[in-house]
Amino acid sequence: MALSAHEILERFKVRSLTPSAYLAACLEHISLFNPKVNALTALDAEHAVSQASQASLRWKAGTPKGLLDGLPIGVKDLQDTKGLLTTHGSKRGRGNVPDRDLPMVARLRDAGAIILAKTNVPELGAGGNSRNPVWGATGNPFNPALIAGGSSGGSAAALAANLLPLCTGSDTGGSLRLPAALCGVVGYRPSVDVIAHPTRPLGWSGISVLGPMARTMDDLILMLSVCQGHDCDDPLSAPSNPDRFVSLPQVDLKTLRIGFSEDFGGAPVDHAIRETFRSRIEQLRPHVKDCRPVELNLGEMDRVFDILRAESFVAGFAEALKTAPEDFGHHIAENVAMGQSMTLTDRSWAHAEQTRILRKFNRVMDGFDVILLPTSPVSPFSWTQSHATEIDGQPMDVYYRWLALMYRGSLTGGPAITLPCGRDPFGMPFGLQMLGPMRGDEGLLAAAKAIETLFARTAETARPLPDLTALAASDIDLRSIVTHPPILKALVQSTTTSLRTAV
């Protein structure tokens, strides 16, 4: 189950493994480990059987449907999937079965991917803890008592526990990067033009983007090459270019110019995380051309993010909250109230200040190829705790303030990625965040690939792996607390039996 997407597809090609056999193994693994971490929500096992069987026939005939033919994947529960329950982690969505796919999901399906499951999220994607009143909490595969991060926490946990080889995510203030860092996988926030996002309530605001998640850079780039593209309902998306990510530039680390910041202009960061970050910088320094600190105090970044985020919540939820306030948790209500307290003057200032922040960031990037930071300011904490309330002695004034290392980067509109690189002093995964210039996706991905290769050479900096044997032996069952009917083990077992018959 630890095979990469590339390895699985290569085995399909040489016919040493069939999609049906691999799906059967996935379902058995899911039945054992998903109750431990509660990463997957709705499951479409019966439909997946039919799709895997058809893919097996296509690979046997040497006529695969596309780059991902027969590969089961997970889709974040904020993203519409045709015929598969999509709740958004909200009581309002308990019975929501979309009649069409989100365009990104449609592209994955057209490439042959099997949409096997939805992945867990916070309620309506609000916050860094994937816990909601429908499906309950997602635990971290390295310690299921701790958070997996959010809002793409289910996707990150599913990847880390080897439940699925690829998963989708999205990111406003760190929702791809935080869970990837906390679970030891790769999460990529692309530039705003790369993946069409036609369901944004504010179509001209690029604060929210869609992106891929994987265990390795090669798998992430493969998925990105399928997801990328234009949609006429997203005015910020660029014309599709199927070859855009097929052949990335080769990066020689000896030519790489790296800037780094421990705190992105003064955001609070736990001392142990700072020390781990400094260690990674020192391990990288001898291998690159330039590696020096950079000042990232770019303006009033927190206030800008507050306003841009609040206005999107007003656009998305204010009317529904007015008619049925009982259907929403307090975080949603707080965000809407914040937005409704703001004025047109606030909004115009925020958009102007974001423009100034971008221009300052551009001047900084003139001297570097990438900028490195920690991803999370703290090690994972209990999922029973909504958010980090204090960091390094500094209290958080709102529940998402602890995500400043990530959301400040969102304001530039450029790409950002989190690479797993060893563990923090508490034994949990440590994620290295990398920022690139606006529309500099190819360069950032190439640099990340080179750094991943370097860090993979030593155990201290390589991607950490959870102890799945210990996880399987634990008596934890996070599925026991969910409020929506859970995945039925009997369904998984019967489906697995039918797959074995078909193989």
What residues contact residue 300 under an 8 Å CB cut-off, 6+ apart?
A: 353
pLDDT at 304: 98
Q: How many domains does the chain have?
A: 1
Question: DSSP per residue over 189-232, as a string?
Answer: E--TTTB--TT-SSTT--S-EEEEEESSHHHHHHHHHHH-B--T
pLDDT at 32: 97
Q: CB neighbours (10 Å) of residue 381?
A: 16
Would you place residue 240 in the very low, low, confident or very high pLDDT band (cuts 50, 70, 90)? confident
Three-state SS for 469? helix
pLDDT at 482: 66
pLDDT of 35 above 80? yes
| Mean residue pLDDT across the chain | 95
Are 139 and 37 spatial neighbours (Cβ–Cβ below 8 Å)?
yes
Rg of the chain, C-alpha, whole Å: 21
The verdict on residue 328 lying in a domain is: no
Three-state SS for 415? coil
* % of the chain with per-residue pLDDT over 90: 93
End-to-end CA distance of the chain: 17
Report pLDDT digits (tens) over 417-455. 999 999 999 999 999 999 999 999 999 999 999 999 999
CATH number at residue 163: 3.90.1300.10
pLDDT at 66: 97
Report pLDDT digits (tens) over 37-67. 999 999 999 999 999 999 999 999 999 999 9
Closest listed residue to residue 209, CA positions, set 265, 259, 262, 151: 151
pLDDT of 89 above 80? yes
pLDDT of 72 above 90? yes
Report pLDDT digits (tens) over 176-197. 999 999 999 999 999 999 999 9
Greater confidence (241 vs 313) lies with 313
Report pLDDT digits (tens) over 317-354. 999 999 999 999 999 999 999 999 999 999 999 999 99
pLDDT at 483: 55
pLDDT of 488 above 50? no
The verdict on residue 136 lying in a domain is: yes
The verdict on residue 311 lying in a domain is: no
Where would I find the beta strands (DSSP E) of 436-497?
none
pLDDT of 123 above 90? yes
pLDDT of 268 above 80? yes
The verdict on residue 12 lying in a domain is: yes
Domain enclosing residue 59, as ranges = 5-299+348-502
Q: How many CA atoms lie within 13 A of 402 on its CB side?
A: 25
The verdict on residue 319 lying in a domain is: no
Question: DSSP per residue over 229-286, as a string?
Answer: B--TT-TTPPPP-TTTTTSPPP--GGG-EEEE-SSTTT----HHHHHHHHHHHHHHGG
pLDDT of 498 above 70? no
pLDDT of 481 above 80? no
The verdict on residue 337 lying in a domain is: no
The verdict on residue 411 lying in a domain is: yes
The verdict on residue 306 lying in a domain is: no
Tell me the average pLDDT across 78-88.
98
Q: Which residues pair with 132 in a beta bridge?
A: 136
Could you give phi then psi for residue 161, rounded to 5 degrees?
-90, 5
Would you place residue 1 in the very low, low, confident or very high pLDDT band (cuts 50, 70, 90)? confident
